[in-house]
Amino acid sequence: MTVFTFLDYAAVFVFALTGSLVASRAQLDIVGFCFFACLTAVGGGTLRDVLLDRNPVFWIETPAFLAVACGAAVLVFMTAHLFESRYRLLLWLDAVALGVAVAVGSGVAQSLQHSAPVVVVMGIVTGCMGGLMRDVVSNEVPLVLAKGELYVTCAFAGSLATVLAGGYGLEANLAALLCALVTFVLRAGSLAFGWSLPVYKSRPPKV
C-alpha cells in the first residue's frame, strides 16, 4: 500500500464521519447515513481523478473505500447521540479530513508530474469538494463559504507546501505530512482562535 492509498483511506473514513454527522442532525435512517457518508467521502477524490484522467476512479478500482465509508456511517448511527455538540465535532473532524485530503490530492498530482498550479488546484479540489457537496445536498451553509473562517485558504496553503517541499527535494511522505500539518494547523487556528483574512466590504457609491 502506497502512502497516498493509506491517506485516501484515512480521508475517506474521516470525511464519511462528517457526512454521517450531518445525516444525524437531519435525523435520517441508516441508508441516508450511508448516502451522506459516501457522498462526502469520495466526492472530492472522484472529481480529482476525473480531472487528472486517472482511470478508473479510485473507489471504482477499489470498492473497499465505499465499505469504509459505510462502516463510518454505521459507527456514527450507533454513537452520535453520545456527543453533546455534534456540530462542533463535525467541524473538528472536517478539519482533520481537510488536511489529509489536501495532502492526497496535491501529492497524487505531483506524483503524476503535473505542474505546480495543477498540484495546488488538485489539493484544493480533493480537500474541499466532498464537504461542499455534503453541505449543499443537506441545505447547510457550506463551510467553504463560511464568513470570517479560513477553509479554502487552508487547502491552498497546504497544497503550496507540497509544491515547495517538492521543489526542495523533500521525500514524498514527508511532503504529504507537511501539507497535512499546514492545512490542519491553519484550519484549527481558525476554529479555536478565530484566525481569518480580511473580507471584502462594499462601500457606498460616491454621489
Residue 179 one-letter amino acid: C
**pLDDT tens-digit profile, the chain (207 residues):** 677 788 889 999 999 999 999 999 999 999 999 999 999 999 999 999 999 999 999 999 999 999 999 999 999 999 988 887 888 999 999 999 999 999 999 999 999 999 999 999 999 999 999 999 999 999 988 888 887 789 999 999 999 999 999 999 999 989 999 999 999 999 999 999 999 988 888 777 665
Helix, strand, coil shares of the chain, percent, nearest 5, are 75, 0, 25
22-41 burial by CB neighbour count: b if 16+ within 10 A, else e?
bbbeeebeeebbbbbbbbbb
What's the domain count of the chain?
1
Helix axes 116-137, 152-167, angle to 10 degrees: 160
Does residue 164 lie in a domain region?
Answer: yes
pTM listed for this prediction: 0.92
Does residue 204 lie in a domain region?
Answer: no
Domain of residue 104 covers 3-193
Does residue 199 lie in a domain region?
Answer: no
Residue with cell 485516501: 8
